[in-house]
Structure 1
Amino acid sequence: MASACSDSPIFYAIGRRLMTDTPVALITGAAKRVGAAIAEQLHGLGWRVLVHCHRSESDAQALCQRLNAARADSAHYLIADLADATAVETLAEQAQTHWGRLDALVNNASNFYPTAFGDARQSDWDSLFASNVRAPFFLSQALVPTLARSGAGAIVNIIDIHAEYPLQDHSIYCMAKAANAAMTRALAKELAPAIRVNGVSPGAIAWPEGSGEMSEAMQAEILRSVPMGRVGGVAAIAEAVVFLLTGTGYITGQIIAVDGGRSVWG
């Protein structure tokens, strides 16, 4: 009796079913740092990942190449400027159609830089609120139908403990993250029971780069208020996200602080 070969109808149907059954996550800002760690951990659990980026295409491409080398057709990157409303709509369309399903959205992308009171500009407000609040809200709204169809859809928003404990000279950023926290709780009520919505609130995880870079003095000041006495590393955030997506089906509307105990320090 001949065995089924790769081009037989039976083999093709089984292969397509298995591919369709594989969960898919879209992670914004996933080319490096926290977003990349989330993508890697979910991929390691058998998920397919959609890696969103804006200016870090080379990093996103390298990440996807590495993940696809481990498992074919398991990672794909999408480029979008989250400050552009039309680009957010296009990103949602691409995410829903690439593999024909979407099980999780992780709103990780975030602009971060100081805006000292008295020198802040309206363009700073627009930039910080666009990436931290507006884009996550409208991307979530656009993806609700597909997330609901999965039967276990979930959204995780990456917030910040500075939503509750403001950081000096970062008032607009802190307000934007506070709005993100409120959005997390509000959408948990709006979307239950079809879609769970939770948040992860990082503390001192990895020092910011570029325009948001912190001085050594500020880093030392922050660590003095962290009981664990060290930065947590990006894997700590990825672990919390993975738990909210795969380790529980009965948590919604919650924000987990991953901060080495800083939030209990006061």
Structure 2
Amino acid sequence: MTAPVALVTGAARRIGASIARLLHKQGYQIIIHHNRSTEAANLLVTELNQIRATSAISLQADLNNHTEVQQLSDQALNWQGKVDLLVNNASSFYPTPVEQSSENQWEDLLNSNLKAAYFLSARLSASLKQHQGCIINLIDIHAQRGLPDYPIYSIAKAGLQMMTLSLAKELAPSVRVNGVSPGPILWPEAEAAINNNEKNAIIEKTLLKRTGCPEDIAEAVLFLAQQQFITGQILAVDGGKSLFSH
């Protein structure tokens, strides 16, 4: 029996890299998708292949480019002849105040967070069906309650949430489709200037009064990948932030 193959988008760094490492530890062959983080992706591939030879590769694709999304799915299938697990983790995240928002921002955020995930799922669906596979989408608790100043991002993640529910129906009974909605895990790199008062205010709005870590998300992804009787569900890994009453 051949090892299962997982494609993780945006897997070179941060949460995506944690997901890739944990799946690899569980015996998966790993396809690490990246766009600009080539060096980090190659380092991670080397790390994983030193643990288990020829068990990981990296594939580059700009998820804003539909042709490259199609090529990514084809290259992923060509590597081992199948894909058993698709983790749509890649995401763009930045503020788009309504008055200053642009069509380019709309295209970028919708493509990276929603369109690419949909068409990767569609193009890999035949292989996923054949191997009783699974799709796991990284959503966001703000898909249900929009993040102020981030309307386009919130809209895109809300679309990804509905895509999860819709594809769970469309691809049943052969393919399970679930989502993970992280809360405060890693502070966004683009907002390195966020001050401690702002961080503390966010943490105070969690029931557990702390941030999570990337491994918390990776373990949730692994759990959903292994559970054969769960589909169409979205697991909030947010320290209770989505239940916090304002």
TM-score after normalising by structure 2? 0.97
d(CA) in 1 for partners of 2:200, 2:143? 20
Q: 1:240 aligns with which of 220, 224, 227?
A: 220
Q: CA deviation at 1:219?
A: 2.1
Please say if 1:169 is aligned against 2:149.
yes
Residue 100 of structure 2 aligns to a residue in which SS?
coil
In structure 2, runs of 5+ residues without a counterpart are: none
Which structure has the bigger radius of gyration? 1
Query: Hey, what does 1:147 align to over in structure 2?
Result: 128
Query: Hey, what does 2:36 align to over in structure 1?
Result: 55
Query: Hey, what does 2:85 align to over in structure 1?
Result: 104
d(CA) in 2 for partners of 1:214, 1:126? 26
Q: CA deviation at 1:41?
A: 0.3
**Which stretch shows the higher mean deviation, 116-125 or 249-258?**
116-125
Q: 1:86 aligns with which of 64, 67, 88?
A: 67
Q: CA deviation at 1:76?
A: 0.4
d(CA) in 1 for partners of 2:199, 2:83? 38
Please say if 1:196 is aligned against 2:168.
no
In structure 1, runs of 5+ residues without a counterpart are: 1-17
Offset from partner CA, 1:157-207 (integer Å, 9 cap, x none): 000001112111101100110000000000000000010000000000111
Q: 2:112 aligns with which of 127, 131, 136?
A: 131
d(CA) in 2 for partners of 1:227, 1:117? 31
Q: CA deviation at 1:213?
A: 4.5
d(CA) in 1 for partners of 2:199, 2:65? 33
Q: 1:226 aligns with which of 189, 206, 216?
A: 206
Q: CA deviation at 1:214?
A: 6.1
Query: Hey, what does 1:4 align to over in structure 2?
Result: none
Please say if 1:27 is aligned against 2:27.
no
Q: CA deviation at 1:35?
A: 0.5
Please say if 1:187 is aligned against 2:184.
no
Please say if 1:75 is aligned against 2:56.
yes
Query: Hey, what does 2:233 align to over in structure 1?
Result: 254
Give the letter aligned to residue 68 of structure 2: A
Give the letter aligned to residue 13 of structure 2: K
Query: Hey, what does 2:103 align to over in structure 1?
Result: 122
Give the letter aligned to residue 230 of structure 2: I
Q: Any conservation in 2 of the 1:225–1:262 contact (CA below 8 Å)?
A: yes
Give the letter aligned to residue 120 of structure 1: S
d(CA) in 1 for partners of 2:78, 2:96? 38
| Count, aligned residues | 244
Percent of counterpart pairs with the same letter?
Answer: 47
d(CA) in 1 for partners of 2:198, 2:108? 24
TM-score after normalising by structure 1? 0.90
